Amino acid sequence: MAGLSPIHAGLPMPPGAAQTPPCHEMVPDWGLSGILTSFCTGAGMDAGHGWIGRAEALKRLGVKTQTLYAYVSRGRIAARPDPTDPRRSLYAESDIERLETGDRAALPAVLSRGAAGRGEAEIFSSLSTRIDGRLCYAGLDVAQLSAQATLEDVARRLWGLKSAQPLMGLKPRVDAVTGASIRLRTCACLARRAAEDLPLPGRDADTLRAEAADILNEVMDAAAGSGPRLLFHQRLARGWKLIERDADLIRRALVLCADDLALPPILAARATAQSGAPLAGATLAGVTALLGSPVMRQTHVASSWVVQARRNPVLALSQALEETGKAPGFGDPASPDTDEVRARTLIEAARLPSDLEAVWREGETRGLVPGLPLALALVARRLDLPREGAVDLLMLGRLTGLMGHVLDQAIGGSPIRTRLRYVGPTPGAN
C-alpha cells in the first residue's frame, strides 16, 4: 500500500454501478479523475446566467444582509454555492426580480416567524445538503463519491482547498498521545492541540486549512499508530491489522460518514468557532456533541445487537420489535433522517457473509430499511473490528466534516444569532 497517491486518477467506475444524478450538478466523468475535477472546480455549475452575487442582490433589493438571509431561509429566494468559491453563495435572479417588482410588505411577518421568533439559531452552510433523500457534499452525491474518493479528497472539497495539497508530506508527531481506546486518544489529541494552538480570529484562510490538515493527520496517527505516510484509510486498516483488500471498505465508510445534517454537533462546532476558540477546540466541541448524539447511541446499540442477531436474525428481530417497537440500526422509511442511500451503499460494498447478510435482509422482509448505524455495525463485524469499531469509524470520518464547519464559520460564516431569554423566578422573589 505504501507509495500510493491520494488521488487514484483514472480508475473506472465499477461495472453495473448505479449512475443516479448527483445533487446540484452532474459528475462529468465516472473515473475518479473526473469526479475530483468537478470536486475542485465546480464543473457543471453555471456561475453566470440566472444567478447573482450577494453584493448585487443587496443593491437591487435595497436591504441589509440579515434581511437577505431571512428571504433565503423562508424560501423566498433560492440560493446555491458559488462554483468559483464554495464558501460564497449565489442567489436566483428571477426571485430577486420578483421581489423588486412585487409587494414585500410581508417581510416583517416572515422575520417574526423565522429563527428569532422561534428561538432558533439559523446556520448558513455550503458544505452539505440532502436532496431527494441523497446526501451531497458541496453539491456532489456522497454515494457516488464513495465509489473511489478518499477522505483526503473529501477534505479538499469541504475545506475549500484548490491547488494546495496540505494533506501530503505531513510528518508524525514524536510525543503521540496514549489511551486505551481510539475515542480517548482522539479526544486527548484534540484537547492537547486546543491548548497549544492559536485562537481563530485574525488568521488567514490558508493557514487555518493547513492547520486543519495537520490536526487530522495527528488524530489519525493517534488512532492508528504512527507508521508509513499512507492514506488515512490505509493507516487505519494497518492499525486494525486488516488485509489490503479490506482497506477499501474502511475508505468507503469514512467518506460516507464525513458529514451529516445532524445539527447539535454542527452548532456546537460553529458556535465554539464563533467564540474565537482554536480550531482543534471548536472541533472537539463538535466531537463531544457527536459522541452523545442519537446516531452515535444508535450505532452503539446496533453494534451490540448485530453480534447476537447474526446467530438467529428472525428471533433477534422479533424480540427487539416486541420489546421496544424498534429494530436496532434500522430506520423509519418515512423519516428523512434514516439515510437509506448511504446505508445501502456501504452494505452493498461490504460483501457480507451469509449470516450478516441475513440480519438486514430479515429487516427488509418486515418493511424496515437499514440506517447508517446498522451498516457501520455490519461492516465492523465483517472486518472483525474491535468492539467500538463502528463508533470509531463514524467519529473519525465525521472529524473531516466538523473541521469543515469550523473553517466555514471562521473564514466566512454568517454570525450565529442567538438570544438567551430568562424564564426563571423573578429576582428577589422567595
For the chain, the residue count is 430
Dihedral pair phi/psi, residue 102, rounded to 5°: -95, -170
Q: Does residue 424 or residue 1 have the better pLDDT?
A: 424
Euclidean distance between CA atoms 232 and 256, whole angstroms: 14
Q: Which long-range contacts (CB under 8 A, 24 or more apart) does 101-107 make?
A: 107/67, 107/70, 107/71
For residue 101 the three cell numbers come to 417588482
> Which residues lie closer than 8 Å to 403 by C-beta, 6 or more apart?
155, 158, 159, 212, 215, 216, 279, 283
Distances (CA, A) of 217 to 7, 156, 186, 254: 17, 14, 11, 14
Q: How confident is the model at residue 325 (pLDDT cuts 50, 70, 90)?
A: confident
Q: What is the DSSP letter of 70?
A: H
Distances (CA, A) of 209 to 96, 118, 131, 197, 428: 34, 35, 28, 13, 50
Give percent of the chain above pLDDT 90: 50
What pLDDT is attached to residue 25? 38
Summarised one tens digit per residue, pLDDT across range 343-354 is 999 999 999 999
Residue found by looking up cell 442582490 in the block: 57
> Which residues lie closer than 8 Å to 413 by C-beta, 6 or more apart?
123, 124, 125, 270, 273, 274
What pLDDT is attached to residue 236? 95
Euclidean distance between CA atoms 263 and 338, whole angstroms: 15
What pLDDT is attached to residue 113? 41
Q: How confident is the model at residue 86 (pLDDT cuts 50, 70, 90)?
A: low
Overall average pLDDT of the 180-199 stretch: 96
- Contact in structure between 405 and 125 (CB atoms under 8 Å): yes
Q: How confident is the model at residue 38 (pLDDT cuts 50, 70, 90)?
A: very low
Helix or strand run (H / E) with residue 37 = helix 32-41
Euclidean distance between CA atoms 410 and 211, whole angstroms: 13
Beta bridge partners of 90: 80
Give percent of the chain above pLDDT 70: 80
Domain boundaries, the chain: 1-44+123-416, 51-122
For residue 217 the three cell numbers come to 493527520
Give me the DSSP letters along 381-427.
HHTT--TTHHHHHHHHHHHHHHHHHHHHHHHHPPP--------SPPT
Indicate the residue type of 22.
P
Euclidean distance between CA atoms 79 and 62, whole angstroms: 18
Residue found by looking up cell 446556520 in the block: 123
Overall average pLDDT of the 132-143 stretch: 87
Residue found by looking up cell 487555518 in the block: 208
Q: How confident is the model at residue 185 (pLDDT cuts 50, 70, 90)?
A: very high
Euclidean distance between CA atoms 237 and 246, whole angstroms: 7
Q: Does residue 25 or residue 136 have the better pLDDT?
A: 136
Dihedral pair phi/psi, residue 29, rounded to 5°: -150, 130
Q: How confident is the model at residue 34 (pLDDT cuts 50, 70, 90)?
A: very low
- Among 325, 374, 330, smallest CA distance to 352 is for 374
Q: Does residue 3 or residue 281 have the better pLDDT?
A: 281
Q: What is the DSSP letter of 88?
A: E
Residue 20 has pLDDT above 70, yes or no: no
Q: Does residue 193 or residue 31 have the better pLDDT?
A: 193
Euclidean distance between CA atoms 173 and 171, whole angstroms: 7
- As a 3-state breakdown, the chain gives helix, strand, coil percent values, each rounded to 5, of 50, 5, 40
Residue 106 has pLDDT above 50, yes or no: no
Residue 319 has pLDDT above 70, yes or no: yes
Euclidean distance between CA atoms 192 and 195, whole angstroms: 5
Summarised one tens digit per residue, pLDDT across range 222-252 is 999 877 888 999 999 999 999 988 999 999 9
- Among 242, 370, 378, smallest CA distance to 305 is for 378
Indicate the residue type of 420.
L
What pLDDT is attached to residue 31? 41
Q: What is the largest CA-CA distance in the chain?
A: 74
What pLDDT is attached to residue 130? 84
Q: Does residue 23 or residue 144 have the better pLDDT?
A: 144
Overall average pLDDT of the 293-297 stretch: 93
What pLDDT is attached to residue 115? 45
Instruction: Give the CATH H-level superfamily of domain 1-44+123-416.
Output: Citrate Synthase, domain 1 (1.10.580.10)
